[in-house]
Amino acid sequence: MNQEQFAHLLKARAFCLLALSPLIPLSYLIHFRRERMKLALGYLMTVMMLFSLFCLASFDSKQDLQAGYSAFPYLLISLFAIFPVPLSLSLQLAACIMVAMLGGNWLLLGQPLWSAATLDQFWLLALFALASAWVQCGQLNMLLQLYRESTTDELTGMMNRRLMMKQLEQARARFLYQQQPFALLLLDLDRFKRINDHYGHLAGDAVLKEVAACLAEQLEEGMVLGRYGGEEFVILLPKCSSGRQAMQFAEQLRLAVEARLIKSPTSDELLEVTVSIGVALMYSAESSESLLNRADERLYQAKVAGRNCVVGEPVAPDQSVA
């Protein structure tokens, strides 16, 4: 490498370093948001591919220095194995890298597209892409499993409280910014402690599973069901602006649970289970905790009223649900 080539390479290295430096502060602003991750990955790919193509045009392909920089495309494809992007996107980006690399060899070095060298490069790039995709599939499966374990109630298989609260916050945000009303139902099994004490915890678990299945069967499209804790369940009714509508659906749930007989796993007895339900509608820009408290107050009133009933709140004339 002569002095002129070294000067060009030094400038290219400085440009590449300066171009990549914004990724350091940008990494603190990503916050694991997919669109920002895609933008950062695309920027990283563009800078490194431009540097690789510059080296391809500036140095002879037989030089040791060029042999080192020619590994950049393979390095970029390998990054897909650890970068949290969808598999389809990673394969598309790998195809773009292949086209840029093979096109650069053809335009800058005059290497024929139908040659042994081109086929070797294509085969090696495809091999790296497939290996990266295989590793990424394994990581995605592991992440999906971890996500399910962290957001699913182990006993009933429905949403746990953490995910349910996120759903509630999203419904609240839609109410604030899009004026989409919704109702919240808080359900509690009546005298559940007696079941555990008299029939055992296995029977209690069977009751929770059956009640969860019964509630899920009654849900309509868009409705969200989750276990709030213990023997309590939460249901979100989207686009529900009528207290009468929410009360009617809650009554439908109460009757469905009351009609289902649950066989005890520890005996041949059929257990009768009932639920008390509190209903609350989102009226104003209140917090999720405030809405839950109102539903809990109605649930408490249902318990005081003798259980196995539904209690809603009256809609004041000056309150409106958009």
Task: List phi, psi (to 5°) of 320.
Answer: -135, 150
How would you class 142 by CB atoms within 10 Å of its CB: exposed for 0-12, middle for 13-18, buried for 19 or more? exposed
Helix residue spans in the chain (DSSP H) = 3-20, 23-30, 34-58, 64-69, 72-79, 87-109, 116-151, 161-178, 192-199, 201-218, 243-259, 288-304
Q: Out of 169, 221, 231, 251, pick the active-site residue.
A: 231
Is residue 231 annotated as part of the catalytic site, yes or no?
yes
The token pair at 298 is 């109605």
Q: Which positions ≥6 away from 234 have C-beta within 8 Å?
A: 164, 168, 184, 185, 186, 187, 225, 226, 227, 228
Question: Length of the chain in residues, anyone?
Answer: 322
**Residue type, position 61, single letter:** S
- DSSP code of 231? T
Q: Which two tokens stand for residue 236?
A: 């979100």
How far is residue 50's CA from residue 58's CA, in Å, rounded to a whole number? 12
d(CA 114, CA 168): 58
Catalytic residues: 231
